[in-house]
Amino acid sequence: MATYQLNVNGQTKKVDADPSTPLLWVLREELKMTGTKYGCGISACGACTVHLNGVATRSCIVPVSLIGNQKITTIEGVGADPVGRAVQNAWVEKDVVQCGYCQSGQIMSAVALLKATTKPTDTNIEESMGGNLCRCATYVRIREAIKRAAEQLT
Amino acid sequence: MLANRRLLSPLFGLMFIVGMACLVLSTRAGSKRDSANPKLADGLAAWEQVYSVLVSPRCINCHTATNYPQQGDDRHRHFANVIRGREGRGVPALSCIGCHQEVNAESTGVPGGPDWHLAPLSMRWQDTNNRPLSSAAVCRSVTDRAKNENMDGRALLTHHQEAALVLWAWNPGRRLDGSMRTPPPLAHEQFVTATRTWVEAGTPCPRAK
């Protein structure tokens, strides 16, 4: 076990964890921040996406020992950001969610996309969101919501 | 007749001297060629060693001709719909560093190194049918300064000695099942020695077959 000071959504959180523990489980089990979901555990589905220094990152495969002082943003904190807020609003407006399990990851990826690409094309969306799987197949509404958020932000 | 002999004698003498000089010079030139040829041969042999590393999975998986990286010793397509992106670093929300950290993540089996990214398409070492390019083609590509970020032989040697992602190939970490990834066929020291021999021979490339 080791003690880590993590910067989560702008707050310093102290956790004791085995160095090999994936960030996902530190967030969910130690910090009780359950908005970030466990899907596949091998970075194949995107449900666990958080931001590390603004980079959309699969938290299920990043050991806590590699986080260091990087800024972690989770679904609980992304709404404090204008782009994050716009995406969440668009998600509600377009009624994107079906079962909802993957949507934390979808939103975190959509925010990363819109921060890099203010007016994403269909191709941009398909490429960037291609690592986020949705078993309910809400892909069409996800694309509409990303475009709606882009409109709101311009 | 006697006068002619007097005239011809110095001429024959001069011809003899010139002839001997030519013989000596041609012998010297021959020995120079003989010494150059082994160096060229050594350089070409060293290149084949370098080539064996470059087309090994740890290297060629990121020197693809495709719109995506490859992974594994069987060089299959990278999973999770990862694509190359404009600068070889993936795309927003699906970037290389979104999974690959600065070092290997041994507990989760994810390889890592500084600024994990694909080589540019100008440095592809395989064709679009997933076959490694020939030794001659890879050599031409590697030595083409218009394609290789303007590296001369000395810079190529430094690249092979020191570049972080090159070094990673000899410290590729563990797979998800805990087994070690296969390193390239030569030790890094041997790879550098072969590169040095090849560079000192003038980075010769084999002829295309």
Contact A132 B93 (CB under 8 A): yes
Residue-number span of the structural domain to which B174 is assigned: 22-200
What's the average model confidence in pLDDT over B6-31?
Answer: 45
Q: Is B42 exposed, middle or buried (0-12, 13-18, 19+ CB in 10 A)?
A: middle
pLDDT of A121 higher than 70 = yes
pLDDT of B161 higher than 50 = yes
How do residues A24-80 score in pLDDT, each as one tens digit? 999 999 999 999 999 999 999 999 999 999 999 999 999 999 999 999 999 999 999
Measured between CB atoms, which of A46, A63, A131 is closest to B105?
A63
pLDDT of B1 higher than 60 = no
* Alpha-carbon gap, residue B146 to B64, rounded angstroms: 18
The pTM assigned to this predicted structure is 0.87
The ipTM estimated for the assembled molecules is 0.95
pLDDT of B63 higher than 70 = yes
Residue B11 within a domain: no
* Alpha-carbon gap, residue A21 to A65, rounded angstroms: 8
Measured between CB atoms, which of B81, B92, B105 is closest to A61?
B105
Contact B110 A43 (CB under 8 A): yes
Q: Which pLDDT score is estimated for B81?
A: 95
Q: Which pLDDT score is estimated for B35?
A: 54
User: Which chain B residue has the Cα nearest residue A105?
Assistant: B93
Number of domain units in chain B:
1
pLDDT of B95 higher than 90 = yes
- Minimal Cα–Cα distance from B96 to chain A, Å? 9
Contact A127 B102 (CB under 8 A): no
pLDDT of B137 higher than 60 = yes
Sorting pLDDT into bands at 50, 70 and 90, what band is B36? low
- Minimal Cα–Cα distance from A93 to chain B, Å? 22
Measured between CB atoms, which of A63, A109, A127 is closest to B107?
A63
What's the average model confidence in pLDDT over B173-191?
Answer: 96
Q: Which pLDDT score is estimated for B38?
A: 80
- Range A2-73 classified under CATH 3.40.80.10: no
**Which are the contacts of B197, defined by CB distance < 8 A and separation ≥ 6?**
B42, B43, B46
Q: Which pLDDT score is estimated for B167?
A: 98
Extents of the domains making up chain A: 2-73, 78-153
The CATH superfamily assigned to A78-153 is [2Fe-2S]-binding domain (1.10.150.120)
* Alpha-carbon gap, residue B96 to B91, rounded angstroms: 8
Q: What is the DSSP letter of B50?
A: H
pLDDT of B21 higher than 50 = no
Residue B9 within a domain: no
Sorting pLDDT into bands at 50, 70 and 90, what band is B9? low
Query: DSSP characters for B94-117?
Result: EEGGGT--SS-BTTTTB---TT--
- Minimal Cα–Cα distance from A138 to chain B, Å? 18
What's the average model confidence in pLDDT over B59-68?
Answer: 96
How do residues A77-110 score in pLDDT, each as one tens digit? 999 999 999 999 999 999 999 999 999 999 999 9
Residue B154 within a domain: yes
